[in-house]
Structures are given as C-alpha cells and as structure tokens.
Amino acid sequence: MFEKILYPTDFSEVARKSISFIKQLKGAGTKEVIVLHVTDVRNIDAWDWQTATESLIKIKKELGKKITKEMNSIEAELSKAGLKVKVRFEEGVPLREILRVEEEEDISVIVLGSHGRSNIAEMLLGSVSEKVIRKAKNPVLVVKR
Ligand code: ATP
Ligand code: MN
C-alpha cells in the first residue's frame, strides 16, 4: 500500500522528523522513497540580478552546495535503513513541483511535515502542506511538529 513514498523536504526541523516515520513504513511495505527538494523560484526572482551579481552568484552556489549536502545525508540515512532512494532537485513553485513529481513517479503516499521553515505558532498547517493535502491524488501522511 505504501510501496513508493514521495518525501518533499525543505530541510526544516519538522520535515526532518518525517524521516523516522518513513523508516518505520518499511514495515508496512515501503520499498522506495523519492526525496524531493524544490528551490522556490519566487525567492530567486525577487533578487536584483542587475546589481551585486557576483555576490548573488556566490550565494546561489553556496545554497546549491548546502542543498546537495542535506540531500546526500538524507539519502545515506534512508539507504542505510534498507530503502531504495532517489533524490530529485527541482526549481519552481513547491506545490506545483510536488504534484508534478507525484504524477511522474507514480507515488503511493506523500509524507511531509505539517510545518516547514516558517513554522508559525498560530498556523494549523503551513501553506505548502495545506495545498498538498487539498490537491494531491494520493494519501498524505502529515507529520506533526
Ligand atoms: P509557509 O511556507 O506557508 O510560511 P511553513 O514553512 O511553516 O509555512 P510549509 O512550507 O507548508 O510550512 O512546509 C510544510 C512541509 O512541506 C515541510 O515540512 C516539507 O515537508 C514540505 N515543503 C515545504 N517547502 C518545501 C520545498 N521548497 N521543497 C520540498 N518540500 C517542501
Ligand atoms: Mn515554507
């Protein structure tokens, strides 16, 4: 039933908490995990590319390195737990990319955090998790903060 998991992560504390649940889902038949990070282009587009270009390129490069490092460590941890792992880096709007990968990879369940990097106390859910719950085709397992 939970053969192929889509695990979208923003590397936040709550998203990280999902990893232990994913490992436990192995007992419920999980074989493969698609780990997805979406670089939100809405942030990048807001940058002023005309001025201070050099430092912006440097920031983007550093960000890329950090993302790769985070993804490698998640991949290692899940592989060690005996799961087949595929990592995907996408650029775009997180919701749209999550739904696109859900289709593309023929996912059975999405596992994500109730909140992410903003983690505002008053919010019942983050905007990405709320929209994923609304729009995804498959069951969504929401890991609470
Ligand atoms: P908001 O973004 O609305 O201010 P938030 O950051 O607290 O609130 P969300 O962004 O909805 O909450 O994050 C909920 C979960 O969605 C995260 O734990 C993570 O699993 C997933 N997620 C959020 N952003 C991304 C992203 N850029 N790429 C992949 N997964 C993401
Ligand atoms: Mn967020």
b/e per residue 17-46 (b: at least 16 CB within 10 A): ebbeebbebbeeebebbbbbbbbeeeeeee
Instruction: Name which CATH class applies to 4-143.
Output: alpha beta
pLDDT value at residue 16: 98
pLDDT tens, position by position, 93-104: 999 999 999 999
**pTM for the full predicted model:** 0.95
Name the pLDDT band for 7 (thresholds 50, 70, 90). Answer: very high
Select from 5, 10, 63, 135 the residue to mutate for testing ligand 1; criterion: most ligand atoms less than 8 Å from CB.
Answer: 10
pLDDT value at residue 57: 83
Placement of tokens 């490992």 in the chain: 23
- For residue 14 and ligand 1, the question of a CB distance below 6 A is answered with yes
b/e per residue 71-97 (b: at least 16 CB within 10 A): beebbeebeebebebebbebeeebbeb
Which run of H or E residues covers position 141? strand 140-143
Ligand nearest, relative to CA of residue 7: 1
Q: 126 C-alpha to center of ligand 1: Å?
A: 6
Looking at residues 104-111, what average pLDDT do you find? 97
pLDDT value at residue 93: 96
Percent of the chain having pLDDT more than 70?
94
Atom 4 in ligand 1: which residue has the minimum CA distance? 118
Q: Give the domain ranges of the chain.
A: 4-143
Residues 115 and 145: beta-carbon distance below 8 Å = yes
Q: 3 C-alpha to center of ligand 1: Å?
A: 23
Q: Which tokens hold the place of 113?
A: 């955090």
pLDDT value at residue 96: 98
pLDDT value at residue 41: 83
How many whole angstroms separate alpha carbon 15 and alpha carbon 108?
19
pLDDT tens, position by position, 43-89: 777 766 666 678 878 888 999 999 999 999 999 999 999 999 999 99
Q: How far is CA 138 from CA 1, 5, 45, 108, in A?
A: 11, 10, 31, 6
